[in-house]
Amino acid sequence: MEQLINRISNLSKGITRLGISLIFTFLIIDLLFPGSTGMTTNVATVAGSISQEGLSGLIALGLFYVIYSRGENEPARGSSQPPTHHA
């Protein structure tokens, strides 16, 4: 069961990384060729909605960042790496 959870977790991390890579790629394309993907408009809309929500929007953005960055830095559960001991 734990292997299934690890596989699903790794799959979701991979999909998330792919999505973020695509967002940045489309954003760069839209900056180089304005109006081609519409990403700058979407980013501006999201930034505007966060600023309209005020403090609660910033807190939600901060929580998302903490959760996302924690997932990047934690080793996968059940990894077979032995613990390291420093003398």
pLDDT digits over 7-42, tens only? 998 898 889 889 888 888 888 888 888 878 888 787
68: CB partners within 8 A, 6+ apart? 16
Read off the pLDDT of residues 50-72 as tens digits, 9 standing for 90 and up.
666 677 777 777 777 787 777 65
84 found inside a domain: no
Residue 60 resides in a domain: yes
Structurally, the chain folds into a number of domains equal to 1
Q: Does residue 73 contact residue 3 with C-beta atoms inside 8 Å? A: no
Report pTM.
0.51
Domain presence at residue 82: no
Domain assignment present for 22: yes
Q: Judge whether 86 lies within some domain.
A: no
User: What domain range includes position 26?
Assistant: 2-73
Tokens of 56: 């609660």
Does residue 69 belong to any structural domain of this protein?
Answer: yes
Do the domain assignments include residue 57? yes
At residue 22, the 3 state secondary structure works out as: helix
